A and B are shown apart, each in its own frame.
Chain A
Amino acid sequence: MEVYNKTFRNTPNSELQTPNSPKAHRVVITGLGIVSSIGVGKEGFWENCLQGVSGTKPIQGFDVSSYRSRSGAQLPEIDFKAFIKPANLRRMDRIGKIVVSSVRLAIDDSGLNLKEEDSSRMGISIGTGLGSSDTVDQFFRSLLKEGPIGAAPLLFQTAVPNAITSHCAIEYGIKGVNITFSHKESSTEMAMTFAYHLLKEGRAEVLFAGGGDELSEPLYHVYSMLGALSPGRGKGVEGMRPFDQDRNGIVLGEGSGILVLETLEHAKKRGAKIYAEMAGVGLSGSTDGLLRYDLKGDSIAKAMSLAAEELRTVDYISAAANSTPDLDRAEALAIKKVFKERTKEISVSSLKSMLGEFDGSGGIRACGLALSLYHGMIPPTIGTEHLATDCDLNVVLGQSKKKEIRSALLNGCSNGGSNISLWFKHFDHQ
């Protein structure tokens, strides 16, 4: 065996190299597309984000009177015709429209002229927790009521989770990478991870990465039955309170966020505006139970340590904290484990306090983080009044904070235990 090993180690690996693989490319963020409960489009979103506007309102569109919780961070009415060709709108369901619109906004923001790009070197990597949950529900109810004849082919073709990604590819003629991830609250973080890696390897030039989810009636029902929703304190509409001593569960949100990721060479060649650099990813699994987060924070700590090559430059963490007792405590523990005595220097904020919690929230939060690095501003964590003793971090409360950020982490943590951390760096234009 020893001889065998030596022989292998001395074997040149050249036949396995692809033309582009030896060189690692730098990956930059050059466009942002945001469809959120606190703003559609980068400008509106960012202004509300810095002002700490809450997206949480009484649920509209379906009856929640039989549930303990009655709030959600739903999207405003959106005229999707502004973003999508009317002929194509007809075959999309609501989540399809939401995600395709966010891709449109990202393309426009990036200044890319898709006609000038090599369509097979462009791609799309989308994360969604429950995709077309509403379409699946409609399809199923019609099947229950009418039997096989009630099964509607038009609903079925949009019911598959990757229909969203296919819509984007068809709408914009994007013929390269095309993939959909669905892994609870780390779905979009995974989509961005995969896109980052492919660009770094030179397997694509421009990738649209991110995604989102919709807040549908069946989804609200499922979350409620699983006991995940915050009952509030019985005093009307109330949003989440990440890291607060009285936090008691999530408020559902919805929306989609897309990053335009491209290789630095490609971005420079076309003179693109660069928001930030994506410079690392860390992934780790925890195994505390099917509906449990990483209870001790070890796995989240490992994800952050793997992601940030230079931990000493991390000035801000866009947290996954979602107002559940377990996750917020675990994330705080993890941050303290990784940063030790530097913990107090690191600003922490959870944009979920404004957006609500949903599986695909990472896309919008990543857009927010890119804006933070670009503008040197950190949005506040709203709703939180009394930091819990087990969450004694430097949480940005009440008002947004001006701060030069050298680098920052975005955390995504799912129940069941997929923990992902993305490392974004300030891009020095000199």
Chain B
Amino acid sequence: MKKRVVITGLGVVSAVGNNLPEFWNSLVEGKDGTKEITVFDPSAYRTRIAAEVSHLDPEAHFSKKEIRRLSRCDQFGLIAFREAWKSARLDQGARDKERVGVVLGAGSGGILSVEKYFRDFYQGRKKSSPSLLTSYSLATTTDHIAIESGLKGPRTTTATVCSSSSASIGVACEMIQMGLSDVMVTGGSDSLCEVSYSGFNSLKLVDPESCKPFDKRRQGLVIGEGSGILILEELEHALNRNALIHAEFLGFGICADAYHLTAPEPNGEGVERVIRIALAHAGVSPEEVDTINAHGTATPFNDIAETRGVKRVFGERAKEIPISGIKSMIGHCLGSAGGIEAVATVMTLETGIIPPTIHYEVPDPLCDLNYTPNQSLRKDVRVALSNSFAFGGNNVCLVFKKFSSE
């Protein structure tokens, strides 16, 4: 029998807020987190902006020694985790940590630290510190979280980059389904680094002004960073300890376009397939879906493929479903995008507010759905989807539902 899985804790670090209330208020208000990059020198690039995390004082969270040891990605992950863990009230009482696991998604991980090492090493400037190399593995942030809290359940890291942390939520749910754990820490963390910034720039996928999903003027993504952490918990376990339940996680789909290394399948077939797989797994019909948190990267091709895929699943009704493109505010956070967007989706179910797609001014005839332009929307939402698509046509769709005990 399939177990019911609910969300009992949330934590966020993002360009528009370094904790959940700040993040959510910014999204509802349509605040743009895009700014000039400071974590590395962007002056040589065609574009110089990113949705960078700011006003975050590491010393408020970590000791000096820890700050030397932890990459920027680790720091974001740990801060968001601590918020989620605390809000889930799992630190109180003697919880069985044997049955709490961690599955995170990774993108660039701690490459910012590794870049620092190899920059010094290759330029022969000075002796680089080997401790920077502990960030070489994408598993590092996941391990830090588990070790800090002594969590001894299943542990792994998904590495599908732009869809990593959505995939990780699916995998975490399966750990509970398999009976291997009662509680899973999931989502993802990622930080800006020059490798991914220059890479997306070289593919000419970065917008020099702002991220404008589904708008005709869109030129591409704005890279973001941060962390979105969710605590998934088996329902009975949550009820038995009187946990606050934010929403229910019903199921997920994961599949491939099998089309191209960077471009999405243009007709939206892969998008259609993944949404249908997710709905079937969740036991939900297309008629029940009330809102979609889009992948919406604002690259010319992605937004068309996603629009087409949504129309293939929902037909005429597609135009009635409010779609939200929050990358317009938080940027594309790569390895943590799905996690942060899942946090937003859960908040939508809990508060009945759908955050807007900002910078939306000029409609594109090829993207002709309701993208919740510029103003957030109040609506009673029962079922919400969150889409994530990665390079190489790796698609994930998550299905969440407003919690009711029935």
Q: Do A and B bind each other?
A: yes
User: CB within 8 Å of B: which residues of A?
Assistant: 1, 4-5, 7-8, 11, 13, 15-19, 21-22, 91, 119-120, 123-124, 128-131, 136-137, 139-141, 143-144, 147-148, 151-153, 156-163, 165-167, 169-170, 172-184, 186-187, 190, 194, 197-198, 201, 203, 218, 222, 225-226, 281-291, 299, 302, 306, 359, 414, 416-418
The smallest beta-carbon distance between B93 and chain A, in angstroms, is: 16
Q: Does B386 contact A (CB under 8 A)?
A: no
The smallest beta-carbon distance between B128 and chain A, in angstroms, is: 9
Measured in the bound complex, the distance between the Cα atoms of B171 and A182 in whole Å is 13
User: What 1/0 flags go to B250-262 for Cβ under 8 Å of A?
Assistant: 1100111111111
Most A Cβ at <10 Å: residue of B119, B202, B393: B202
14 A-B pairs within 8 Å (CB atoms) are namely: A5-B239, A136-B195, A144-B122, A148-B198, A153-B203, A161-B160, A161-B161, A165-B392, A180-B158, A182-B139, A194-B171, A218-B118, A290-B134, A418-B156
The reply to whether A143 and B195 contact each other, CB–CB distance below 8 Å, is yes
Cβ contact of A181, chosen from B130, B153, B157, B405, cutoff 8 A: B157
Residue of B with least CB distance to A196: B178
The reply to whether B156 and A186 contact each other, CB–CB distance below 8 Å, is yes
The reply to whether A160 and B175 contact each other, CB–CB distance below 8 Å, is no
Given contacts A15-B283, A16-B4, contact A169 B392 (CB under 8 A): yes
Residue of A with least CB distance to B139: A183
The reply to whether B147 and A416 contact each other, CB–CB distance below 8 Å, is yes
User: What 1/0 flags go to B266-283 for Cβ under 8 Å of A?
Assistant: 000010010001001111
Measured in the bound complex, the distance between the Cα atoms of B248 and A363 in whole Å is 35
Residues of B within 8 A of A417 (CB): 143, 146-147, 155
Residues of B within 8 A of A194 (CB): 171, 174
The reply to whether B147 and A144 contact each other, CB–CB distance below 8 Å, is no
Residue of B with least CB distance to A159: B199
Cβ contact of A156, chosen from B98, B118, B139, B199, cutoff 8 A: B199
Given contacts A170-B258, A182-B159, contact A175 B273 (CB under 8 A): yes
The smallest beta-carbon distance between A109 and chain B, in angstroms, is: 22
The reply to whether B157 and A183 contact each other, CB–CB distance below 8 Å, is yes
The reply to whether B147 and A178 contact each other, CB–CB distance below 8 Å, is no
Residue of B with least CB distance to A156: B199
The reply to whether B155 and A285 contact each other, CB–CB distance below 8 Å, is yes
Residues of B within 8 A of A16 (CB): 2, 4, 250, 282-283
Cβ contact of B142, chosen from A1, A11, A183, cutoff 8 A: A183
The reply to whether B2 and A21 contact each other, CB–CB distance below 8 Å, is yes
Q: Does B106 contact A (CB under 8 A)?
A: yes
Residues of B within 8 A of A167 (CB): 261, 392
Given contacts A151-B201, A180-B159, A290-B147, contact A119 B130 (CB under 8 A): no
Q: Does B94 contact A (CB under 8 A)?
A: no
The smallest beta-carbon distance between B265 and chain A, in angstroms, is: 10
Measured in the bound complex, the distance between the Cα atoms of B273 and A169 in whole Å is 15
The reply to whether B174 and A197 contact each other, CB–CB distance below 8 Å, is yes
Residues of A within 8 A of B171 (CB): 179, 194
The smallest beta-carbon distance between B262 and chain A, in angstroms, is: 5
Residues of A within 8 A of B174 (CB): 194, 197-198
The reply to whether A184 and B139 contact each other, CB–CB distance below 8 Å, is yes
Cβ contact of A175, chosen from B195, B199, B255, B262, cutoff 8 A: B255
Residues of A within 8 A of B251 (CB): 18
Residues of B within 8 A of A165 (CB): 160, 256, 392, 394
Q: Does B115 contact A (CB under 8 A)?
A: yes
Cβ contact of B160, chosen from A144, A153, A179, A186, cutoff 8 A: A179
Most A Cβ at <10 Å: residue of B4, B138, B406: B138
Given contacts A5-B239, A175-B258, A291-B134, contact A153 B155 (CB under 8 A): no
User: What 1/0 flags go to B1-32 for Cβ under 8 Å of A?
Assistant: 11010000000000000000000000000000
Q: Does B136 contact A (CB under 8 A)?
A: yes
Cβ contact of B391, chosen from A129, A157, A203, A283, cutoff 8 A: A157
The reply to whether B159 and A161 contact each other, CB–CB distance below 8 Å, is yes
The reply to whether A284 and B154 contact each other, CB–CB distance below 8 Å, is yes
Residue of B with least CB distance to A190: B156
Residue of A with least CB distance to B178: A197
Residue of B with least CB distance to A225: B130
Residue of A with least CB distance to B1: A13
Residues of B within 8 A of A19 (CB): 280
The reply to whether A163 and B391 contact each other, CB–CB distance below 8 Å, is yes
The reply to whether A159 and B261 contact each other, CB–CB distance below 8 Å, is no
Given contacts A157-B203, A162-B392, contact A226 B130 (CB under 8 A): yes
Residues of B within 8 A of A21 (CB): 2
Given contacts A157-B203, A226-B134, A287-B152, contact A143 B158 (CB under 8 A): no
Residues of A within 8 A of B235 (CB): 8
Residues of A within 8 A of B60 (CB): none
The reply to whether B155 and A8 contact each other, CB–CB distance below 8 Å, is no
User: What 1/0 flags go to B203-242 for Cβ under 8 Å of A?
Assistant: 1000000000000000000000000000000011001101
The reply to whether A166 and B256 contact each other, CB–CB distance below 8 Å, is yes
Q: A139-B199, A161-B160 are in contact. List 10 more A-B contacts (CB 8 A).
A: A128-B159, A143-B198, A179-B254, A180-B158, A182-B106, A184-B139, A416-B140, A417-B143, A417-B147, A418-B156
Cβ contact of A290, chosen from B115, B130, B140, cutoff 8 A: B140
The smallest beta-carbon distance between A222 and chain B, in angstroms, is: 5
Given contacts A190-B156, A194-B174, contact A151 B199 (CB under 8 A): yes
The reply to whether B391 and A166 contact each other, CB–CB distance below 8 Å, is yes
Measured in the bound complex, the distance between the Cα atoms of B392 and A167 in whole Å is 8
Interface residues of B in 155-207 (CB under 8 A from A): 155-161, 167, 171, 174-175, 177-178, 180, 194-195, 198-203
The reply to whether A153 and B256 contact each other, CB–CB distance below 8 Å, is no
The reply to whether B152 and A182 contact each other, CB–CB distance below 8 Å, is no
Measured in the bound complex, the distance between the Cα atoms of B154 and A286 in whole Å is 9
Measured in the bound complex, the distance between the Cα atoms of B44 and A218 in whole Å is 26
Residues of B within 8 A of A166 (CB): 256, 261, 391-394
Q: Does B390 contact A (CB under 8 A)?
A: yes
Measured in the bound complex, the distance between the Cα atoms of B114 and A136 in whole Å is 11
Measured in the bound complex, the distance between the Cα atoms of B180 and A282 in whole Å is 8
Measured in the bound complex, the distance between the Cα atoms of B134 and A5 in whole Å is 46
Q: Does B62 contact A (CB under 8 A)?
A: no
Residues of A within 8 A of B281 (CB): 18, 203
